Structure 1
Amino acid sequence: MNEDTKVLRDYLLFTVPHVTVLAGALLGVLLLLGVKLNVALGIFTIFYGFMLLILALVIREHFSKLLWYRLAVTFFVGLVLMGLLLLFYGE
């Protein structure tokens, strides 16, 4: 594993848990407010994917050539799209 891949791994290991806790708190609040489950999960997934995508865009300059970075960005965009599907078609 080269040095850039290790730095990317460490960056994701130290930032993704913070975003996960924030998105989980949003999901909890939505469920406590009585929002429908599909709507709450859609909002959660959009928010989680969007926040992870912001993290990825912050480090784009340094890691855009790495395959793992591209895979992660693809997964984050997929989360946002899945959230949109849940929000609009999950009845």
Structure 2
Amino acid sequence: MTMDDERVLLNYYAMTVPNVTVLAGSILGLLFLLRVDLKLALGAFSTFYGLSLTIIHLIVREQFGRLRLYRLVFLFSVSLILMGLILVASRFM
């Protein structure tokens, strides 16, 4: 892997992540407008956002899977899913 691969990965993230962020933020806003419980809304947002980012990462895994940046951001996405599921589960306990 070269420095060019990291630049391409950063450009890919710059073009895709903002779109996913706006979509997930819109869903969070709708949940707030519907007066959904805070833990449930944040859990749903975190789960949806993490799942969307994970899908974006899986699309380019074959090309960038060896880069440290890719692994760190992928780990962050999976942790968002886990935190969201924990929030949703804690709402029902």
**Which band: TM-score by shorter chain?**
over 0.9
Aligned residue for 1:22, secondary structure, equals: helix
Match of 2:15 in 1: 14
Q: Structure 1: which 5+ runs fail to align? A: none
Paired with 1:86 and 1:25, the residues of 2 have a C-alpha distance of 19
Aligned residue for 2:9, secondary structure, equals: helix
1:57 aligns with 2:66: no
1:31 aligns with 2:32: yes
The normalised TM-score by structure 2 is 0.93
Paired with 2:75 and 2:29, the residues of 1 have a C-alpha distance of 26
1:68 aligns with 2:50: no
Paired with 1:20 and 1:35, the residues of 2 have a C-alpha distance of 20
Write the letter of the residue equivalent to 2:12. Answer: Y
CA distances 1:69-89 after superposition (whole Å, capped 9, x unpaired): 011110000000010111111
Paired with 2:40 and 2:85, the residues of 1 have a C-alpha distance of 10
Which consecutive aligned stretches of 4+ in structure 1 deviate over 4 angstroms post-superposition?
none
CA distances 1:10-31 after superposition (whole Å, capped 9, x unpaired): 1101110000000000001111
